[in-house]
């Protein structure tokens, strides 16, 4: 197993612990903006400043927590947006629409590397600016805390 595989596994385990682990109440208390800013900051740090394996082993769990941690709240947030008869469909649509919209970033990574001769670190850093889009959209997201669920 090479060092890149180990790094990816460390980030994945940290992110999965956030999603499925005991940290769920912590995730619900934090606002999504903290994850957006934290994801942006950690992506820039990981992709631009860290090169040693030891530094990556320390940083990647935080990177996984901040970039995947916001998804833990989606499982609670999305169903509350829809009436009971549409809850499963609406939640599934929201999760999968995000995946469909994220897929072009893979193409954009290759295009940035080919067209502008960016290396992978620079292309990933540039694409991490998509967290800014999330920060700009947050004020328009409906708040459902303390409201009755619609039937």
- The per-residue pLDDT for range 2-43, each reduced to its tens digit, is 554 545 555 555 555 555 455 444 444 445 777 888 889 999
Q: Which pLDDT score, from 0 to 100, does residue 89 have?
A: 94
**Residue 48 pLDDT > 90:** yes
Tokens describing residue 117: 């001769």
Q: Which pLDDT band, with edges at 50, 70 and 90, does 81 fall under? A: confident
CA neighbor of 70 nearest in space, from 21, 125, 15, 22? 15
pTM: 0.70
Q: What is the pLDDT of residue 19?
A: 52
Tokens of 52: 């040693």
| Cα-based distances in Å from 62 to 52, 74, 105 | 16, 19, 22
Task: Determine the Cα–Cα distance for residues 151 and 147; give it in Å rounded to an integer.
Answer: 12
- Contact status, residue 119 vs residue 113, Cβ threshold 8 Å: yes
Mean pLDDT of 74-96: 89
Question: pLDDT band at residue 136, thresholds of 50, 70 and 90?
Answer: confident
Nearest Cα to Cα of residue 89 among 99, 100, 78: 78
pLDDT in tens, 88-133: 999 999 989 988 988 898 899 999 999 999 998 999 999 999 889 8
């Amino acid at each position: 197993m090479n060092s890149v595989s180990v790094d990816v596994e460390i980030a994945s385990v940290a992110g999965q612990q956030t999603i499925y682990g005991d940290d769920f109440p912590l995730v619900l208390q934090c606002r999504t903006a903290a994850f957006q800013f934290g994801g942006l900051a950690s992506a820039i740090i990981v992709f631009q400043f860290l090169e040693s394996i030891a530094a990556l082993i320390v940083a990647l769990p935080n990177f996984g927590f901040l970039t995947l941690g916001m998804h833990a709240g989606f499982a609670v947030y999305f169903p509350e947006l829809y009436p009971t008869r549409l809850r499963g469909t609406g939640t599934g649509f929201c999760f999968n629409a995000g995946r469909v919209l994220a897929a072009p970033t893979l193409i954009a990574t290759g295009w940035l590397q080919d067209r502008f001769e960016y290396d992978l670190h620079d292309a990933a850093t540039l694409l991490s600016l998509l967290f800014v889009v999330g920060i700009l959209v947050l004020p328009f997201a409906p708040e459902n805390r303390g409201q009755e669920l619609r039937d």
